[in-house]
Amino acid sequence: MSRTINEIFVHCSATRRDWMSDQSTEAKRDEIDRWHRQRGWKGFGYHYLIDRDGTVIAGRPEEEIGAHVSGHNAHSIGICLVGGHGSNENDKFADHYTSLQEGSLSELLDKLEAKYPGAVVRGHNEVAAKACPGFNVKRWLRGPRKILSETRTGKGGAVAVVGTGIASIADVADQALSAAHDVSAMADALPALRWIGVALTLAGVGLMLYARWDDLKAGDKGR
């Protein structure tokens, strides 16, 4: 029996970088399984576990209700990233996880979003007073994940690569604003910042083409 899924939650194991680093992803899942049983749950509460090297393994079957977000388990999928010890809710993904994990998470989300259209991807920290998963998922979705996804599907192509730089400029500005606790007032300026970046890039491409055309003309004269 399939469930209605309207949320996909990202979590962390809250373990140190080198936790069980000499062991398999399955062994890590089994260890987390033990912790969850100790809490009285019926074993590993997430549907997926993403290891430091990007390995993705399944936990509970998707059709089965997980045990990962109080009050949201019935209609959600839970994904756990290995790591995140000592993280804060507004840290950046790269502060606590590997780029291999980032690629795998993005890819897994692509699949789940295709399977459950309309499901909203959220961090555990959006619905509970916790740091988990130790980064701002909304900000990550808008920036790094969007680019990873577009690059992989070929939708963005070269533009996506160019966009990486611009999105990270906006990301830095976004974080600076958050730090200043003045998000609401200035957040509206961020899309504009992205467009300025795009405009500059297009101008650069234009200049390059013009220079080539000029070279061709010069070549003609010389002949």
From the candidates 46, 48, 97, 116, give the one annotated as an active-site residue: 46
Q: How far apart are CA 54 and CA 56, in angstroms?
A: 6
CA 131 from chain center: how many Å?
16
Residue 124 annotated to the active site: yes
The least distance separating Zn ion from the CB of residue 115, rounded to whole angstroms, comes to 22
Residue 217 annotated to the active site: no
From the candidates 72, 85, 130, 146, give the one annotated as an active-site residue: 130
Among residues 47, 39, 48, the alpha carbon closest in space to that of 66 is found at 47
DSSP lists the bridge partners of residue 88 as none
Residue 46 annotated to the active site: yes
In order, the DSSP letters of 82-98 are S-BTT--TTS-HHHHS-
Give the length of the chain. Answer: 223
From the candidates 85, 124, 146, 217, give the one annotated as an active-site residue: 124
DSSP lists the bridge partners of residue 79 as 10, 48
Instruction: Report residue 156 as tokens.
Output: 């963005």
Residue 11 annotated to the active site: yes
The least distance separating Zn ion from the CB of residue 132, rounded to whole angstroms, comes to 3
The least distance separating Zn ion from the CB of residue 124, rounded to whole angstroms, comes to 3
- List residues binding Zn ion (CB under 5 A): 11, 124, 132
Residue 132 annotated to the active site: yes
- 28 or 147: whose CB is closer to Zn ion? 28
- 130 or 146: whose CB is closer to Zn ion? 130
Residues with a catalytic annotation lie at: 11, 46, 124, 130, 132
